Amino acid sequence: MNYSADIKNDLIRRIQEIDDLNFLTAIQTILKSSENKLFAITKDQEEAIEMSRKEIAEGIGIESDVAIAEIRLWLQER
């Protein structure tokens, strides 16, 4: 049994039955987005990433689990 082929055939059958243009457009958008393995980032995002990499290399910052714990504590105090 080829599970992948079964899923594909089921999707094809179900898509052929859809008449809702908005729904079909949404499916098309999902499929197109999966084709684009890379995505563009802004210059500001690129600079923020670079700054974060430098901070990590310099040992600046805290571990994510520590940050999450601090945020949860802060939220409880609100």
Say if residues 30 and 24 touch (Cβ distance below 8 Å): no
Q: What is the reported pLDDT for 56? A: 86
Query: Residues 7-24: what's their mean pLDDT?
Result: 95
The per-residue pLDDT for 33 is 79
**61 and 55 in contact (C-beta within 8 Å)?**
yes
The structure's pTM equals 0.42
Per-residue model confidence as pLDDT tens digits over 19-48:
999 999 999 998 887 766 667 889 999 999
User: pLDDT band at 13, cuts 50/70/90?
Assistant: very high
- For every residue of 15-64, DSSP letters joined together read HHH---HHHHHHHHHHHHHHH--S----HHHHHHHHHHHHHHHTT-S--H
